[in-house]
Structure 1
């Protein structure tokens, strides 16, 4: 073996990678918390570095810009929502069952991830136009799916015929997306209980039964 080169299974490079990954995640977590507490515009990369005990220049070892930091934080949340949305979308459940699972899951997920959900629903407007379109396009997919499930359930006789599917869709997401504003982990209802309660409110209002 050539001197000075680590063997492929040498644990030292792997440890360095793990340390770098851990440190980068700390940067993301700290940035998310500070953006949440202070607002994106009011937080600088120097503030983030100081919180972590890093010089401003050292922060840029882990990220390219403050904008990239926000986008990655928003995308992490985005990826989580996409995972359960795709699973529900691909299932063979009835439209009503899909609505039930999406409302329950999305409400609980928003409440359980208050810091990132808050940034996802508010600070995303600080992203550049191309990145904003990524967020808008994903939200539109969710809205189209819910509207189509309501229409299918209407055709099956499970949703009141006088329901406006588009308006009902806006109402559902308006309710679910508001959770980050008021939910508190130490409150009298858990995230899952809030999700279940929201689901019953929506479905009982739509149901023909």
Structure 2
């Protein structure tokens, strides 16, 4: 219901009715509508941490980490449209003490990508003119947009879209081999 109507427009009474319960009965399971929103957002957030931590801990090259993150995050968004949409749009409805850990973790993901891109530039695998901060923000903007347009019954799976996004991102970031003056 939060996904369809938005958090602010959904009442606890409507949640109860959809569950076949009275409004008061809903409070037996949750203490507030905000707690329900927080739990939904936290579940999605925890799921993203699983693949993020695996990628961070891997010994992969910087661009390979970027590729893996784009592919995994995109597929995760596509496979969890409703929770992803809530995570990307309704987190602002949370009070500051619940919102801040999410913002901190989001910044940690952005910083990791920036560091990978900087390391790739130092290794000569990422184009020198790429601004790591701008590229990280663009990458996450592209991935997060999937929650607005992806359809499970569409032409491609979330994994296929993730692989295509990863190809686009890495192709745009990768340093070009010097051109052969003879060829």
TM-score (norm 2): 0.94
After superposing on structure 2, the runs of 4+ consecutive aligned residues of structure 1 that deviate more than 6 Å are none
Aligned equivalent of 1:131, options 69, 78, 98: 98
* CA shift for structure 1 position 131: 1.0
Count matched residues: 176
Aligned equivalent of 1:59, options 8, 11, 26: 26
What CA RMSD, in Å, does the superposition of the two structures yield over aligned residues? Answer: 0.7
Alignment map for 1:50-199 (pairs within 5 Å): 50-199=17-166
* CA shift for structure 1 position 68: 0.4
TM-score (norm 1): 0.83
* CA shift for structure 1 position 55: 1.1
1:27-47 CA-to-partner distances (Å, cap 9, x unmatched) read xxxxxxx00011111111111
Q: What residue ranges of structure 1 are gaps of 5+ in the alignment?
A: 1-33
Larger radius of gyration: 1
Q: Per chain length, whose mean CA-contact separation is higher, i.e. which structure has more relative contact order (CA < 8 Å, sep 6+)?
A: 2
CA distance in 2, matches of 1:203, 1:87: 19
CA distance in 2, matches of 1:42, 1:163: 42
